[in-house]
Amino acid sequence: MKRQLRVIKADGTTEAYLHTKVIGTMNNALSAAGHPDMSVAEDLAEVVTFYLYNRNGLRKVSSNEIFYMIKAVLAATDNEEAAAALTEHTLERRLKRARTEVLAIDVQNFTDVEKLYQAKSPPPRTPWDKARIVHDLTTKSGLARPTARAVASMVEERVFSIGVSAISSSLVKQLVLGETATALRAQRELQTV
């Protein structure tokens, strides 16, 4: 039996390779190009996974390598539009991450908003960092890393869908708490099935 392949994430951490994530990425790219087809996505993902597990015994691969491999497989199979859509989505995501900042302010009521508005200097800002949410959930709350990553991804989607370039740390915290509750409820429901 072959050892589990590990993926080196952009933040330097590693996680288990998930074939289902590659299927999802393939299907999302095909869908963005107007050609959703789960069967094709599964077949193309199988090519990527087969190649990765048969690379001269290497057991680690970077998320960037997987991304470029997915693009190459799409382009080589007459799915150039899907490869372009995947590139566009990735660039858009990086741009949103670079443009979003978290304001170190705890907004609880209108008085806090007035203080922010009347302050002589703006509150400290930090760049958006999804990995920080994962770190806090795993170290401070004891959440399993895969669950923490899922929560962080859901929070990031919500933040980006709001469309603001600056968000208060208190709102991020509320979003994290809400999405964590949703994820834990879903896990519990799956365990009782």
Are 104 and 92 in the same domain? no
Q: Which domain holds residue 137?
A: 100-192
pLDDT, one tens digit per residue, over 27-70 is: 999 999 999 999 999 999 999 999 999 887 788 999 999 999 99
* pTM score of the predicted model: 0.77
Are 90 and 11 in the same domain? yes
Q: Are 17 and 7 in contact (CB under 8 A)?
A: yes
Are 132 and 174 in the same domain? yes
Instruction: Using the 3D structure, point to which of 96, 115, 133 is the last residue of a domain.
Output: 96
Are 90 and 24 in the same domain? yes
What is the number of domains present in the chain?
A: 2
pLDDT, one tens digit per residue, over 97-110 is: 999 999 888 777 66
DSSP character for 123?
A: P
Asked whether residue 15 is assigned to any structural domain, the reply reads yes
Asked whether residue 1 is assigned to any structural domain, the reply reads no
Q: Which helix (DSSP H) or strand (DSSP E) does residue 166 occupy?
A: strand 166-168
* Nearest Cα residue to 142 out of 182, 180, 187: 180
